[in-house]
Structure formats: C-alpha cells, structure tokens
Amino acid sequence: MAYSPLQKDLLRKLPKVDEVVQSLSGEAPRNLKIAACRQVLSTLRSYILSNENPDPARIEAGNIMQSVEEKLDELLKPSLVPLVNATGVVVHTNLGRSLLPPEIFESMMETAGRYSNLEYNLAEGVRGSRYSHVEEILCELTGAEAALVVNNNAAAVLITLETLAKGREVIVSRGELVEIGGSFRIPDVMARSGAILREVGATNRTHLRDYSSAICDETALLLKVHQSNFQVVGFTKSVSVRELSELGSDFGIPVYEDLGSGNFIDFSRYGMIHEPTVQESLSAGAGLVSFSGDKLLGGPQAGIIVGQKRFVEKIKKNPINRAVRIDKLTLAALEAVLRIYRDPDRAVRTVPTLRMLTMPFDGIRSGARRLARRLKALKIPGLAVDIVPTVSRVGGGALPLQRLDSMAVGLSAGSVGQCKLSAAGLEAALRSFSVPVITRIEEDRVLMDVRTLQKKDYAIITDAVRHVCREYPGADSGLL
Ligand SMILES: *Cc1c(COP(=O)(O)O)cnc(C)c1O
C-alpha cells in the first residue's frame, strides 16, 4: 500500500527513542523511560500508518512528551492497589476477602522489618518451630490438642488427605463433593492427594448406614465437607459430625471435617443463621478440622488445621508441609488476630469482617444518610441520589442463605445537566478512579451498599463522584 506524502513526512518527523528519553526529566529508572517512549512512539507510528490524513498536531514535540509522561506515570503505578468495596459482599474473594484490623498493623510491620524468633527457641537458644507462635493460642481458642497452619485451606485439605489417606479410601457424601470456585473441587483435590474417593449416599440424602456399609479395610478417613456456597433444601438428610465420629470410633477410623470458612463466634448470637464453630466440630468428635484464615475468621490468608496431636504431628512431618508453609508476615498477622479472639466481644467490634457482618441496622441507615447527604451536597445537575434498601451478602462461600438487610446509596445520571452517564458508564468511571470504587448496577442505577464501606471510603466516594461527573472528559459529551 502506498503512503501519502503527509504520512511519509510525519513518519520522518517522529523522534528517535533516545532523543525523547534524553529530554525526559524525573527520577524514573531509565529502562522504564525507554519502555514508555517505545510504547508511545509505536502507537503514533501505527496511527500515522493507518490514517491517510493523520493529524500533525499529535506528533508535535509537546504532545509526544505529554503522552510519554502519562505513560510513564502509568508504568510507575503499582498494580495491586487499595479500593473501595461498595458491593455489599463482605468476604469478597476477588477484592481481597478480609481486611485486617488496623490495630495489628504496627506490630506486623515491626516484625516484617526486623529479625525475629520465627524459627528460634529463645529459651534454649536453639532452632525452634514457626508453628509454635500460633499453636498454643489455637488450642486455647478451639479446645484442640494440636494445631498447624499452612498457606491456605486448599493446601490444608491437600496435605491432610495426602498424609492420612494416600493410597487408601476416603468416604464422602455425594452431597458434599463441592466446587468452591477458582477450580477447587473436592474430587480433584482428593485425586491429587493420592487418596481414593469413595462417594456414598445421594445428592440430597445421605444416611449413617451409607457410611457404615462403605467402611472396609481400605478406609482411612471419614470426610465431611462444608457445603459452603450452596445449600440443598427440601427432602434432605445428612449425617452430623457427632454421628459420624461415633461410627468412626467403632471402627478406629478418624473423622476429618473441612469446615471451609471456620469461625470461632456463634453467629446466632447476633441474629444470624447458626454456623457450626470450630469448637463445636471438635467437641462433636472430629479428629481433625481445617478452615480458612481469611473467610469468616477475618484474618490473613491461611489454612488452619486443628485436632488430635497424633494426626497433626504426622502432617507437620510431611515434606509437602515445606511447600505449603506459611510466611512470617502472615504468621504475625494471624497471631495478632487470634489474640483479639480471646475476648469475643472485642473481636466482633474490631475484626472488620465480624464488625461488618454484625453491624446494627441503625448504623447502616445512618451511614447511608451520611453518604447520600455528602453526594447531594455536590449539587451535580442531573445526578439523582437516593437511599435504596438492599441485601448484602456474606460471600466467601459462607452462609449462602443468610439475608443481611442493608442500605445502599443509588446514583442515576439522567440526560439533563452535566452528568450524562449511563449506569454502566458511571459504574465503569467509578471503577477507573484513582482509588477505584467498585459498585453494582441494579435497575439502571449504580448502587453502593454502605455495609462494606470503611470510614475513609465516604470521602473517597465523594471525590470520585465529583471527579467523574464534573471533570471526566467524556461526561459532558456522553462519550462513556
Ligand atoms: C473456601 C474453601 C476451601 C478453600 O479455602 P482457601 O482458604 O480459599 O484455600 C476449601 N474447602 C471449603 C469447604 C471451602 O469453603
């Protein structure tokens, strides 16, 4: 294809990467400056080549410099950034699941930036165990004999099955062969561990006799898996941990319960659906229980295994343990969160996950009024701000049937005045703000559930809405 004289002329005028890099000021690493220049110049080259009549203004030195500076800023920005969760999903796996209580930040950072007794026994001056820092308190809180923590609960399930049931059979109800999301499926993990799945019962009903008639010489474990993200309702029957443990003890076979989202707090005390606690599972006779650190517990990502010493010690010695071991920062956070649980009322007040789940409705209503007031005070023509009743969700595959009545602030931008964004445009623009605000759309309106908002978020949302509706270049022209 022949290029026009203008195209050829502009291509010739494009500066060399080196020249642009030379004239860039600022402290950015040279490699990044080069990368930014290359990207901008290559975009310009494609622009010129694909337009018979390219706009010469776009390759003026000033404009090129501005594009390069913008690209450089983009490259310098971290990829993992904090954001505002206005979705009302409390344990939101895509948005980082649990927020750590601010009161533990200082001690965590101190541990991170200094040497510590991570694997050092201070009393005896010899090598120690990294698990010792949380084992005792986990036993104290749950009543277990022994405890171990690994990278996450998926790892806990894998290593427990591998240690106790490799090459042997594990009996599980067909109603509990769950998929958690992110491709974690009990049958697949079981296969990877080398354990042999022996499924019993039907999807909706499993009886004690289904387990007992499946027990044979090859049976290593009776496994109970929390259904987590779904519930079977109607004509159903499942076998409790207690019944299963009694059966197991007749045959000398341990029961392992994968609780998924383990919790220490009885949520029914706060008007919510009862969710079996770790303590309950152990006292019902489970030999081992595993659960996540960052679901309902509200701590850092971790897989916590508690139960009888003879099993926990075996898991600790499994070489896989080294591959799934917990990092020291996580360990510091976990210890600090567990210490808060010594006083359950304090935990409910200060662990953000628990605070958001048990938030009194009055608090939610006043939060919604406060946010609505701030947004109305922006006086953006064409932007309707209302308070809308909504329902938050627990998330994290926990308590799927729990209804959490909540309040949201709804935004709808009509076609009058300055703000001419569609709900989808507004949602996308808020999501692209310097501190992204994640909302959801319902009935052509952007909803922000106040349950999952933190103190600072009110000001951030206000800035975001102001910026999006007043300053966003596309707002007036309806470009978004
Ligand atoms: C969430 C969940 C897991 C996986 O836990 P992670 O901590 O996310 O690895 C395993 N089993 C059940 C039943 C779960 O709900």
Q: pLDDT tens digits, residue range 275-322?
A: 999 999 999 999 999 999 999 999 999 999 999 999 999 999 999 999
Nearest CA owner, ligand 1 atom 13? 260
Please tell me the predicted confidence (pLDDT) of residue 472: 53
Atom of ligand 1 minimally distant from the CA of 156 = 9
| 84-92+357-478 fold | Aspartate Aminotransferase, domain 1 (3.90.1150)
CA dist., res. 87 & res. 406, Å (int): 11
Please tell me the predicted confidence (pLDDT) of residue 398: 85
b/e per residue 277-305 (b: at least 16 CB within 10 A): bbbbbbebbbbbbbbbbbbbbbbbbbbbb
Cα of 223 vs centre of ligand 1, distance in Å, is: 14
- Whole-structure pTM value: 0.91
Q: Where are the domains of the chain?
A: 5-76, 84-92+357-478, 101-350
CA dist., res. 99 & res. 352, Å (int): 6
Please tell me the predicted confidence (pLDDT) of residue 100: 97
419 has a pLDDT exceeding 70: no
Pocket-testing residue among 92, 97, 153, ligand 1, by greatest number of atoms within 8 A of Cβ: 153
Tell me the pLDDT tens digit for each residue of 168-219.
999 999 999 999 877 889 999 999 999 999 999 999 999 999 999 999 999 9
In the numeric block, which tokens belong to residue 17? 């990467």
Q: How confident is the model at residue 393 (pLDDT cuts 50, 70, 90)?
A: very high
CB of 403 within 8 A of CB of 416? no
CA dist., res. 453 & res. 374, Å (int): 14
Cα of 299 vs centre of ligand 1, distance in Å, is: 14
HSE-up of residue 337 (Cα within 13 Å, Cβ side): 28
CB of 260 within 8 A of CB of 397? yes
CB of 216 within 8 A of CB of 169? yes
Tell me the pLDDT tens digit for each residue of 223-271.
999 998 888 889 999 999 999 999 999 999 999 999 999 999 999 999 9
Pocket-testing residue among 228, 275, 288, 353, ligand 1, by greatest number of atoms within 8 A of Cβ: 228
Say how many C-beta atoms besides its own lie within 10 A of residue 345's C-beta: 8
> Mean per-residue pLDDT for 418-428?
82
CA dist., res. 324 & res. 151, Å (int): 5
Cα of 457 vs centre of ligand 1, distance in Å, is: 29
Nearest CA owner, ligand 1 atom 11? 260
Atom of ligand 1 minimally distant from the CA of 292 = 7
CB of 266 within 8 A of CB of 274? yes
Question: In 3D, which of 282, 295, 261 has the Cα closest to residue 140?
Answer: 282
Please tell me the predicted confidence (pLDDT) of residue 421: 80
> Mean per-residue pLDDT for 70-99?
95
Please tell me the predicted confidence (pLDDT) of residue 478: 42
- Whole-number percent of the chain with pLDDT over 70: 96
Nearest CA owner, ligand 1 atom 7? 153
Cα of 191 vs centre of ligand 1, distance in Å, is: 17
Nearest CA owner, ligand 1 atom 1? 260
Secondary element (H or E) of residue 219: strand 219-225
Nearest CA owner, ligand 1 atom 2? 260
CA dist., res. 162 & res. 213, Å (int): 24
Residues 6+ apart with CB under 8 A from 369: 387
Nearest CA owner, ligand 1 atom 15? 260
Nearest CA owner, ligand 1 atom 5? 153
Pocket-testing residue among 151, 177, 180, ligand 1, by greatest number of atoms within 8 A of Cβ: 180
Tell me the pLDDT tens digit for each residue of 449-462.
999 999 999 999 99
Please tell me the predicted confidence (pLDDT) of residue 420: 67
CA dist., res. 314 & res. 187, Å (int): 23
CB of 124 within 8 A of CB of 373? no
Nearest CA owner, ligand 1 atom 3? 260
Residue in this structure with the two tokens 């932007």, named with its chain if needed: 383
Cα of 292 vs centre of ligand 1, distance in Å, is: 6
Please tell me the predicted confidence (pLDDT) of residue 127: 97
Q: Which CATH architecture has domain 101-350?
A: 3-Layer(aba) Sandwich (3.40)
Ligand 1: residues with CB < 6 A are 152-154, 157, 180, 184, 225-226, 228, 258, 260-261, 292, 303, 397
Residue in this structure with the two tokens 């277990």, named with its chain if needed: 144
User: What is 383-438 written as a DSSP string?
Assistant: EEEEEEEEEEEEETTS-TT--EEEEEEEEEE-SSSS----HHHHHHHHHTSSS-EE
CB of 369 within 8 A of CB of 409? no
Residues 6+ apart with CB under 8 A from 77: none
Cα of 192 vs centre of ligand 1, distance in Å, is: 16
Please tell me the predicted confidence (pLDDT) of residue 470: 76
In the numeric block, which tokens belong to residue 262? 């383990």
> Mean per-residue pLDDT for 345-362?
97
Atom of ligand 1 minimally distant from the CA of 228 = 15
